[in-house]
Amino acid sequence: MISVILVNYHTARHTIDAVASVMSQHTVAPPEIIIIDNSVSDAENALLKTHLPDTVTYIRNPENTGFANACNQAFTQSSGEFVLLLNPDARLLPGALSKLADSLIHHPDAGAVGPRVYWDDDCRFLMPPSTYPSLGDFYREAIFRAIPRLSAYPSLSFRKKALQAWTCTTAIPVDALSGGHMLIRREAIQRCDGLFDPRFFMYWEDTDLMHRLKKHGYRLYLEPSARCLHYYEHSHAKDRLIAEGWSAYQQKHLRNDMRFQLIDALNKHLPPTKAPHIESIAANQEKLVFSIPAELRSAWLLEIGASPQLIPAMGYFGDGPVAEVGASLFRRLREKTYFARLSAPVPHPDLMYYWQWQGYQ
């Protein structure tokens, strides 16, 4: 059996739709679904109790205990051999759950497996692969920042991994997976000291889990035949929580390492990574329109991210004279400055065009 864990925090309508996507999956046995509601809201409670199937275990918390603690709370109530973590703003596409389970069965060395994830209903925009921090990455960052002519290497290195994740046709090992849509082997959770470390309120708890899984010898896989939607939105409010999670991760795994202390101090004194030439554009009636140069119209890749280095970035493969980000997607890129890169869909393109714009207010 598969246990499915969702945490609701003022996202009741999303949660109901996420549950529906799970209920529509064809599996050998019906999945066990457990929802923890951290909203502390009578309206959210009423909506969920009205629209959730009777077979769903619904637990309403008297206070917001945080994402990590809520998942742990649900895990103690679960009994499945495999455990699916699913964000309320995520949807499993048909067949995804059984394909993820089959992948875990066929890869006995796997601790967890994740699906290929799309940002939009049309499955044009691919979400970025999850990143995993390492001392090697920090050292390379220092070298590339110290030598400006090498400044493009980190971005191209991430792009190479992203292209592999976006185009692979069979399961591949990956550095990390997102806790928003990931199937985990219960035995692996138990062997690596539990699901999430409660010192993480929200964000970076999944990276800590990846660290522990790999430390215990498990591998992580991307299963491209399993597909999922994630209606991700970004805002300044998330930046603070992400920063707090990163601080907790450093404190647990890196702060006592003299090598990290040295490279962290060095990186703080180096100049920022040299940015490429970036053209500013404006949203046209709340949508973005990118004109494709003639030499790229046969096949192109548009990448979109929140940093000029495009780490991480979403990917959109296409052809023709125009690439568009429609109004509904544009509104999910909120408040801050965003960046795009257009090039041929290859690891090391000869031509690259860059743009930036102000997110939806």
Q: What is the mean pLDDT of residues 321-346?
A: 92
Compute the mean pLDDT over every residue in the chain, rounded to the nearest whole number: 93
CA quadruple 75, 76, 78, 81: dihedral sign:
positive
Instruction: Check pLDDT > 80 for residue 302.
Output: yes
pLDDT grade for 279, boundaries at 50, 70 and 90: very high
Q: What is the DSSP string of 213-259?
A: HHHTT-EEEEEEEEEEEE---B-HHHHHHHHHHHHHHHHHHTTT-HH
Instruction: Check pLDDT > 80 for residue 47.
Output: yes
Q: Name 78's Cβ contacts closer than 8 Å, sequence gap at least 6.
A: 3, 5, 32, 34
Give the pTM. Answer: 0.93
Q: Where in the chain is the domain with CATH 3.90.550.10?
A: 2-127+166-230
CATH of domain 279-358: 2.60.40
State the pLDDT at residue 140. Answer: 81
Q: Where in the chain is the domain with CATH 2.60.40?
A: 279-358
CATH of domain 2-127+166-230: 3.90.550.10
Q: What is the mean pLDDT of residues 90-117?
A: 98
Instruction: Check pLDDT > 80 for residue 320.
Output: yes
pLDDT grade for 28, boundaries at 50, 70 and 90: confident
Q: What is the mean pLDDT of residues 137-145?
A: 80
Instruction: Check pLDDT > 90 for residue 262.
Output: no
Instruction: Check pLDDT > 80 for residue 272.
Output: no
